[in-house]
Structure 1
Amino acid sequence: MKSLDFDFLNITWIDAIDVALVAVLIYYIYSLIRNTLAVNLVLGMVIIVLVYYIVKGLHMELLEAIINKFMSVGILALVIIFQPEIRRFLLHIGKSTFLQKNKAWWGYLFGNKSAEQDNLLRIKPIVDACKSMKKTRTGALMVFVKYYDDEYFNNSCEMIDSKISKRLLESIFQKHSPLHDGAVVISENKIKSASCILPLTDNDKLPAQFGLRHRAGIGVSESTDAVAVIISEETGEIAYAKQGRVRMNVSFGELEKLLNKDF
């Protein structure tokens, strides 16, 4: 009797690392596309692949040829269809590097010991403005991006490029201000632009009470690496949107921690 060959079960530590890295990559990609339109796109592509193999098995040559032509441009189609997700994926990799995660330590070593304190000081006028607008129930949408994309924002915004100020934020969102409609974009420790028209989310599972501000804040967090702070005009409640997910009824303490972490 021939002995069975179990060489394929000889797993080395390199194989274990390989499997672990692939698992981390799959989870990372899933966390980026979760609750976004990309999930529907992936599902659609899986259905097309399944239909292709069914058609091929049934020898339906005409339909097989059509689907095969569609699939032959797979890589190019993936780049075009998933361009926002790929861009966000690369940005997240850049932000997750050792140097980025430990920049406070590098700043300490090279003399910038008060980096975190400076960051809290920059966030304070934003939180103070939110306190004031919550009290007066002034609707507001503030978008925070680490890297300002001129092509993405400039077409629909009024450029400001000013120092972050509580009074300036309050005056922009004051109901009779010509700039109160739309979003304020904050980046590089400045109020870069105001009255920005942003894409709305297509998520149909959001609560009915979400208005245009909430849908725009969620939408921009889906398509870019931005986070959004939304203040409801009806209730004064503060919401925080990131990666297409929204946290409701955020306290001022939570808001300060979230902005300090993400911005």
Structure 2
Amino acid sequence: MKGLDFDFLKFNWLDAIDIVLVAILVYYIYSLVRNTLAVNLILGMFIILIAYYVVSSLHMNLLTAIISKFMSVGIIALVIIFQPEIRRFLLHIGKSTFLQKNKAWWGRLFGSKDIERDNLLRIKPIIDACKTMKKTRTGALIVFVKYYDEEFFTNSCEVIDGKISKRLLESIFQKHSPLHDGAVVISENKIKSASCILPLTDNDKLPPQFGLRHRAGIGVSELSDAVAVIVSEETGEIAYAKQGRVRMNVSFGELEKLLNKDF
């Protein structure tokens, strides 16, 4: 129609790229916070935001002032509250760069047999230890992290920094060992620490038979990119926790595939 400006309806290829990039960013953030405590935090902040607009529209000056003061430090509060998620996001960006992916691609193309052999050498002692602990019903919690956080782990762990071996894992988790309580943390092809006290999950939908080991394994996988292998002391069954979700009754073949993929 004459006199109307429809420039805002123009759509070009840069707009399409912009939308795609925003969609990827939103999905990336969603994949990081999915099944974690961050979802509840976001929901809480959304409720506070709605409450602010409600009390403001009703001219409830006292509540409006209180909530507005709280929201005035929003950016700082977001950085503090979502520090683990922001850290995970930056780590994922670093791992997903072209050089990292290109390095892995060339490795698979020209050295796939060497990579598979190295993975088998790293994983076999862990699988063998889990077989023994399953048979003897020895409870165990083994956490695998790609980036070892010195500040996070060393404050609550005994530093080991030793070679991965079946006997070392079995000796740590045997019932009379002073280190058997807590988790073993494996990173950089080493057993970095043992007897680690990890944060428990707040998920109230878990089965009641889950003990502290299962809740700690799920909890650490919620707060970081860690994966956890849990051996039940009561049943000997093996569970695998990743991103706040847990797989039960994992066979040794499945465990090898999962570790080969994630570790």
Which interval holds the TM-score relative to the shorter structure?
A: over 0.9
Give runs of aligned pairs for residues 12-161 of structure 1, distance below 5 A: 12-107=12-107, 114-161=114-161
Gaps of 5+ in 1: none
**Count of matched residue positions in the alignment of Structure 1 and Structure 2:** 263
Name the CA shift for 1:74/1:8 in 2 (closer, same or farther; >3 Å). same
Distance of aligned partners of 1:100 and 1:250 in 2 relative to their CA distance in 1, 3 Å threshold: farther
CA distance in 1, matches of 2:121, 2:103: 18
> Is the partner of 2:194 in helix, strand or coil?
strand
Q: What SS does the corresponding residue of 1:258 show, helix, strand or coil?
A: helix
Matches within 5 A, 1:207-222: 207-222=207-222
Deviation at 1:97, TM superposition (A): 2.2
Mapped contact 1:104–1:116 kept (Cα < 8 A): no
Residue 136 of structure 1 and its aligned partner are, at CA, apart by: 1.5
Q: Which amino acid aligns with 1:253?
A: G
Identity in percent: 85
Instruction: Please report the TM-score for the alignment, with normalisation by the length of structure 2.
Output: 0.94
SS in 2 for 1:114: helix
C-alpha distance after superposition, 1:12-59 (max 9, x if no partner): 111111111111111221121112111111011111111111222222
111-120 vs 198-207, greater mean Cα deviation = 111-120
> Helix, strand or coil: the match of 2:201?
coil
RMSD: 1.8
In structure 2, the gaps of 5 or more residues are: none
Q: Which deviates further from its counterpart, 1-10 or 59-68?
A: 1-10
What displacement does 1:178 show? Answer: 1.4
The range that moved more, 39-48 or 23-32, is: 23-32
Letter of the 1:40 counterpart? N
Change (3 A) 1:100 1:254: farther
- For residues 256 and 98 of structure 2, the distance between their equivalents in structure 1, rounded to whole angstroms, comes to 24
Pairing of 1:229-244 with structure 2 (within 5 A): 229-244=229-244
Q: Which moved more, 1:53-62 or 1:39-48?
A: 53-62
For 1:145, give the aligned amino acid: V
